[in-house]
Amino acid sequence: MNSSTQGNSNMHNTQAFRVLRAAAAFLFLAGPSVSPIRGADVVITSENKGAETIALGFVDFKCAKGDANSLPFTPGAVISWDLDFSGRFKVKSAAQFDSASKGAFKAEGALAYVRGEYTLDGDNFTLNCELIDIDSQERILGKKYSGKKADLRQSAHKFSDELTYQLFGEKGIAQSRIAYVNKRGGNKEISVMDYDGANVTEITKNKSINLMPCWVDGKNKVLYTSYAGGQPQFYLKDFESGKNGVYFMSKGMNTSPSWNKMDKEIAYASTLDGNTELYRRAFPDGKPQRLTFFGSIETSPSWSPNGYEIVFISDRGGKPMVYVMDRDGSNMRAITHDGDYYGSPSWSPKGDRIAFTAMDEGNNMNIMTLSPDGKDPAKLTTQAGSNENPSWSPDGRHIVFMSTRTGSPEIFMMNADGSNQKRISFSGGNYMPKWSDY
């Protein structure tokens, strides 16, 4: 960040915290269980909002009661990871708040710091999280959570999201989840994990082939292709009802589902009429509407965030290329023209970029993005091997993908520009990740 941008950022930070301070006295007197002020009151404004960051101090959370070693994590470490990965915060950590840490925080431009404590009592927990003004020591934000110990990590994520919303007026992604395929022996099962790789849950155990998970209805349902019944059909896992079974049956193979939250429908590839073509279908009980008729292979649809267009892969020109069409199949046009292979396109929730897999000159698979009109291509990964299956975070600031850079397929995440690449799975044989909505 250059000095001019840093100065503007500090100015916006100061303005934001002044607004927060106006409510601090009420919050301080009312107690930590009181909900913080509305995010509409505390919004960072900038012509280049995506580049805005806030410097924050961060003091290690204390375990006030119970055995902290009984947990494989600390809630403070979870929150610190969330804030750092979000790209919205510049976090400076310290073991405690004293004159030395205060000076270090202020040297980074921080006007406030996060602190907290938690208790563990049998299977239960309490968690107190606060945002404190560095100079006045007034409490700007305070939240208290309690419940079963198994929910402590999720409560830490919740505070991260609430802090993001209060300071930026936008939702945080710390409570989002990732569905993916894991290969165990000869089977391919669907699993779900928190966005940081924790709390892995296997949602299929049918010892078959299960592929291409797709989140439906926020983060409440996962639609996927399964060979459990022999022929590949769509199955649906509903986390609210607990049901997990066939979504609908049809002749032919059904694959590559994509959710359109604007109109509550899916686009997908199917051999319903013989060739692999694209269809759309209202959720949950609509009838299939065929969108492509060229006779080539069309697959891997992904909706634009406004629900007006679909990006997909077609080999109608002889090689798999990236195409875009209107929701009814009209106005079809290629947005890639060179190269030998493209796959798994994914439209950003912001609408401004499309991520996809491309084969380079060395036959390596890497992640690229470009604008929906085919301009301004950007290569995000450069590692040898395979980097595939990009899927955007719900805020459009990050991408999750599969990479074989460590020898076995694993799940990685990165910023939308390719920076800050992090590995979040470690068991081997993990691929086809799909990021949930908020």
Q: Which domains does the chain have, with CATH numbers?
A: 3-168 (3.40.50.10070), 177-435 (2.120.10.30)
- The pLDDT tens digits for 346-396 are 999 999 999 999 998 889 999 999 999 999 999 999 988 899 999 999 999
- pTM score of the predicted model: 0.89
Percent of the chain with pLDDT over 70: 88
Summarize pLDDT for 219-257 with one digit per residue, the tens.
999 999 999 998 899 999 999 999 999 999 888 899 999
DSSP notation for 83-124: HHHHSSEEEEEESS-SHHHHHHHHHTT-SEEEEEEEEEETTE
pLDDT the model gives residue 362? 86
Main-chain phi, psi angles of 275, to 5 degrees: -90, 160
Question: Average pLDDT, whole number, for the chain?
Answer: 89
Contact indicator for 240, 258 with CB cutoff of 8 Å:
no
Average pLDDT over residues 102-106: 98
- Whether 91 and 80 have beta carbons less than 8 Å apart is answered as yes
More confident residue, 179 or 46: 179
- Burial category of 184 from C-beta neighbours within 10 Å (exposed 0-12, middle 13-18, buried 19 and up): middle
Instruction: Summarize pLDDT for 269-293 with one digit per residue, the tens.
Output: 999 999 999 999 999 999 999 999 9
State yes or no: pLDDT of 44 exceeds 60: no
What pLDDT score was predicted for residue 186? Answer: 81
Query: What one-character DSSP code corresponds to residue 319?
Result: S
* pLDDT tens digits, 304-332: 999 999 999 999 999 999 999 999 999 99
> How far apart (Å, rounded) are the C-alpha atoms in residues 394 and 259?
13
More confident residue, 18 or 391: 391
The answer, yes or no, to whether residue 17 has pLDDT greater than 70, is no
**Taking 90 as the threshold, does the pLDDT of residue 10 lie above it?**
no
Mean pLDDT of 74-88: 97
State yes or no: pLDDT of 420 exceeds 50. Answer: yes
Residues in a beta bridge with 190: 181
Sheet of 289-290, strands arranged across = 254-260, 265-270, 277-282, 289-290
